Amino acid sequence: MTRLLARALLGAAFACTALAAHAVGVTLPAYDDITLDNGVTLLLMRKADVPLVAARIAVRGGALADAAGKEGTASQLAELLGKGAGKRDARAFAEAIDGAGGELRFGASREALVADASFLADDTGLMLDLLADAFLHPTLSLAEFEKSRTRAVQSIAAAKDGDPRGLIGSYAQAWLFRDHPYGRPEGGDEASLAALTLADLRAYYTAYVGADRAVIAIVGDFDPASMRKAVEQRFGAWGKATGRLPAVPPKLRETGRRVLLVDKPGATQTYFWVGNVGAAVDDPARAAQDLVQTVFGGRFTSMLNTELRVKSGLTYGARASIERLARPGAAGFSSFTRTDATAQALDLAFDTVDRLHAEGIADDMQASAKRYVLGQFAPDYETADQLAGALASLHIDGLGRDAIDGYGERIERATAADIAAARSVFPTRDDSLLVVIGDASKIGDAIGKYGPVTKIALSDPGFGPGPTGAVTP
């Protein structure tokens, strides 16, 4: 049996065991919360069901710490952390992972730089060596940087030349959070990536990637005392960050309506997003908001999907979403339709959100949503890698374990009044921002009725018409 197959079978066994343990609600197993001498937060959860160990390292900062005009720095740095570190070049680093049948991925979110690892318990030492080298001794090769930056620019160009649905979120963020840090592109854009240098990545690394910003969460088959010693040996020399994290003020909700029209000549479909400022990660109404999101646009039988897909056949799908960050993020709904049905689909979407706010959610739909949300929640906390990610996220977000342990109870106890109040997380017809991507020559007149229109070309660099908010140290 190969090591990779063994890992797959063990992972399945772990999932089955965890699911049985958490069949009703979710209660996190006990874990140790340790602060190392250099400021690292170490979270250790022993799960000896199967011989696997998973880890997540999250470093506060992320794309929000990118310098103005150098958006994409954190994203590119994350790419390079796995492209050579310590005594291993990019090829040797990848071969070490593959040879053990392990998994190791790096990425950058808006608020953190993240690494996720999963290895057989026998290879825990190797996993920790690779992670420590990546964060303490990254090579940051010029050749690898140039390849990564080129791929990022080509990816944006391909999306703009082809199917732009994956970019609607970038345009929505830039339009809603114009002149605010949340409006800056996480992965950068054509202009910022072109301006980016390896020196910028090194400067970011020195300023923001430090032990005092880091959370290391490890879950799996290990002895906690031995694991702590192993982590201290490898990460104890990690120094503190030298730069201050940027201050991010909350953004007030928009009033009125305005439209961003992104022209894609010859497009046969129109993609649209409607939204406004929603809720933060620590919003006490989260459970009730999740129930509203489920009914409005979070499942196949949702209000939006029923109206726009099932009944009218105007689209293959419509959904509503809530992005929760340290400050309130975007909350809205999106879909796509054929060009000649643009106004019809938008009108129907607005009629549906009107109905949500005016009529509310019937008792039977509330009960159905509670069953659905609880059924979807438990499987997110089954495997070692899921639990490691959950622990790290709780600490990065400044939340206690009750955010998970008490979630099921909050769903079950949400009253009709709670759910009615939570509808306000979604925009109203009168106070909303629209992003529409399509052929302006065919849809421009039709969308003018939704508010003042700002027009840009999909081929224009970036994702919006104006400034997108520099951070303040």
Summarize pLDDT for 175-206 with one digit per residue, the tens.
999 999 999 999 999 999 999 999 999 999 99
Confidence (pLDDT) at 466? 64
> Which CATH superfamily groups domain 257-457?
Metalloenzyme, LuxS/M16 peptidase-like (3.30.830.10)
Q: Angle 405-407-410 (CA atoms, 0-180°, nearest 5)? A: 130
Q: Which CATH class is domain 3-235?
A: alpha beta
Q: Where in the chain is the domain with CATH 3.30.830.10?
A: 3-235, 257-457
CA distance 384 to 387: 5
- pLDDT (tens digit, 9 = 90+) per residue, 1-18? 445 444 544 444 444 444
Of 312, 356, 314, the closest CA to residue 335 belongs to 314
The mean pLDDT of 128-147, rounded to a whole number, is 98
53 C-beta neighbours (distance < 10 Å), count: 25
Query: Is pLDDT larger for residue 65 or for residue 469?
Result: 65
Strand (E) or helix (H) holding 442:
helix 440-447
When pLDDT is cut at 50, 70 and 90, the band that residue 161 belongs to is very high
The whole-number average pLDDT for the span 253-282 is: 98
Has residue 471 got a pLDDT over 60?
Answer: no
How does the average pLDDT of the chain come out, rounded? Answer: 94
d(CA 280, CA 50): 36
Residue 392 has pLDDT above 50, yes or no: yes
* Percent of the residues in the chain that have a pLDDT greater than 70, as a whole number: 93
- Residue 49, phi then psi, degrees to nearest 5: -60, -45
Record the pTM.
0.91
**Does residue 42 have a pLDDT over 60?**
yes
User: How much of the chain exceeds pLDDT 90, in percent?
Assistant: 92
pLDDT beyond 50 at 155: yes
The 10s digit of each residue's pLDDT in 406-465 is 999 999 999 999 999 999 999 999 999 999 999 999 999 999 999 999 999 999 999 998
Assess whether pLDDT exceeds 80 at residue 377: yes
